[in-house]
Amino acid sequence: MEIRVLKYFLLVAREENITKAANLLHLTQPTLSRQLMQLEEELGVQLFRRSKHHIVLTEEGMLLRRRAEEIVALADKTRDDLQHREEQLSGTVAVGSGELQSTSFLTQLLTAFQEKNPLVSFAIYSGNSDNIKERIERGLLDVGLLQEPVDIAKYSFIRTPVREQWGVLVRDDSELAVKERVSPAELAAMPLILPERESIQHELFNRFGPYAEGLHITATGNLLYNLASLARASGGCVLTLNLDCNYEGLHFIPLAPALESNTVLVWKKTQTFSAAAAAMIAFSEKYISGIKRN
């Protein structure tokens, strides 16, 4: 399979129309159709169900789409890693981060590095720690900012100086909204919305102690904006980190006793990095170590 043909396939899958895709690629429709037929022959499967004006992916086509997106992304990243000017550091560093207070610290770090290396750019991926680890394993990310608890046995890492504070987002009209802090006992009878990561859920359940088995969990999710919208509509309480964000109609209350999490900046121990990524990792170690010493 050629990368070029996989890009053709992805565009056709997106447009669901060979003629439109051919126009965007500046190819003739017969030429593009022939490329797709040759791809199907090479793989020995049917990738599309065709009609006169519309095509849809078969199950095999949907599988190839997922794989092709990964292959093309990795090929593009490899090209970017290799194409840098010898006289001045350049290239793109792929960075993953979750929704964290530490993200503000990470952006300060990236900005400080970019001031010294203005030809280096960043490709930022947002997701939870599990998503980021998966993309690091596939070579799609160079470094990732992860929230603990997380298994980092396979990674080199440095712990950031930021502590993440846990609490709940509740509606302004909630009976809890007047409190300065909220306890597990007070939350036990409330409808709860939790982060989707199992390791985080286990840590939160431990905090609830004897109340854990009777909790009323109405939803889980990985993006706080969506969970906040659900809480606003349903009156549920979102167990979340304090991100210093304003959500209309909602109020953040810290947990009591206090619960905090650490974050770590990680990268694969065995990976060969581009010059830009290697320089950024070395800079990060010195930058964070310097902050901790001070």
From 49, 81, 113, the end of a domain falls on 81
Q: Which of 65, 81, 97 is the last residue of a domain?
A: 81
Burial 170-208 (b: 16+ CB within 10 A, else e): bbeebebeebeebebebbbebebbbbebeebeebbbebb
Q: 35 with 178, same domain?
A: no
Q: Is the pLDDT of residue 260 over 70?
A: yes
Q: Which domain holds residue 252?
A: 164-261
H or E stretch covering 57: strand 55-57
Average pLDDT estimate for 142-167: 92
Which range among 83-97, 102-116, 167-181 shows the weakest confidence by mean pLDDT? 83-97
Q: Are residues 241 and 285 in the same domain?
A: no
Is 254 buried (19+), middle (13-18) or exposed (0-12) by CB count in 10 A?
A: middle
Q: Are strands 191-195 and 237-241 parallel, antiparallel or unpaired?
A: parallel
> Which whole number is the average pLDDT over 177-192?
94
For residue 294, give Cα distances in angstroms to 106, 206, 276, 290. 18, 34, 27, 6
Eight-class DSSP state of 276 = H
| CATH code, domain carrying 32 | 1.10.10.10
pLDDT at 195: 94
pLDDT at 134: 92
Residue 160 has pLDDT above 90, yes or no: yes
Q: If pLDDT is split at 50, 70 and 90, which confidence band does 83 have? A: low
Element (H, E) at 279: helix 275-293
Q: Give the C-alpha separation, 130 to 250, whole Å.
A: 28
CATH number of the structural domain spanning residue 223: 3.40.190.290
Q: Which amino acid is residue 2, in one-letter code?
A: E
- Does residue 138 sit in the same domain as residue 268? yes
Burial of 273 (0-12, 13-18, 19+ CB in 10 A): middle
> Residue 177: CB partners within 8 Å, gap ≥ 6?
170, 171, 251, 253
The answer on 253 and 175 residing in a single domain is yes
132 or 272, which is more confident: 132
Based on the fold, state whether residues 150 and 172 are members of the same structural domain.
no
What is the per-residue pLDDT across 63-79, written as a single tens digit (0 to 9) for each?
998 888 888 888 887 77
What digits encode the pLDDT tens for the residues 108-127?
Answer: 999 999 999 999 999 999 99
CA separation for the pair 10, 14 (Å, rounded): 6
Higher per-residue pLDDT: 150 or 115:
115
The answer to whether 10 and 68 are in contact (CB under 8 A) is: yes
User: How many other C-beta atoms are found inside a 10 Å radius of the C-beta of residue 288?
Assistant: 17
Over residues 189-245, the pLDDT tens digits come to 899 999 999 989 999 999 999 999 889 999 999 889 999 999 999 999 999 999 978
70 with 122, same domain: the answer is no
Residue ending a domain, choose from 48, 81, 114: 81
137 and 270 assigned to the same domain = yes
User: Which pLDDT band holds residue 87 (cuts at 50, 70, 90)?
Assistant: low
pLDDT at position 272 is: 84
Tens digit of each residue's pLDDT (9 = 90 or more) over 4-63: 889 988 888 888 888 888 888 888 888 988 988 898 899 999 998 887 778 889 999 889
Same-domain status, 125 and 13 = no
Q: How many CB atoms lie within 10 A of CB 248?
A: 8
pLDDT number for residue 20: 87
pLDDT of residue 292: 67
Looking at the structure, do residues 31 and 177 belong to the same domain, yes or no?
no
pLDDT at 81: 66
Task: Output the pLDDT for position 85.
Answer: 47
CA distances from 114 to 58, 109, 117, 240 (A): 44, 9, 5, 31
Instruction: Report the alpha-carbon distance of residue 16 to residue 13 in Å, rounded.
Output: 5
**Which pLDDT belongs to residue 293?**
66
The number of folded domains in the chain is: 3
Question: pLDDT-derived band of residue 153, with 50, 70 and 90 as boundaries?
Answer: confident
Residue 282 has pLDDT above 90, yes or no: yes
In 3D space, the residue among 97, 92, 88 whose CA is nearest the CA of residue 79 turns out to be: 92
Domain shared by 17 and 58, yes or no? yes
128 and 273 together in one domain: yes
pTM, full prediction:
0.70
Question: Does pLDDT of 86 surpass 80?
Answer: no
Of 18 and 293, more confident: 18
> Both 125 and 270 in a single domain?
yes
Residue 89 scores a pLDDT above 80: yes
Nearest to 139 by CA among 270, 10, 7, 1: 270
Q: What is the CATH number of the domain that holds 142?
A: 3.40.190.10
What pLDDT, on a 0 to 100 scale, did the predictor assign at position 66? 87
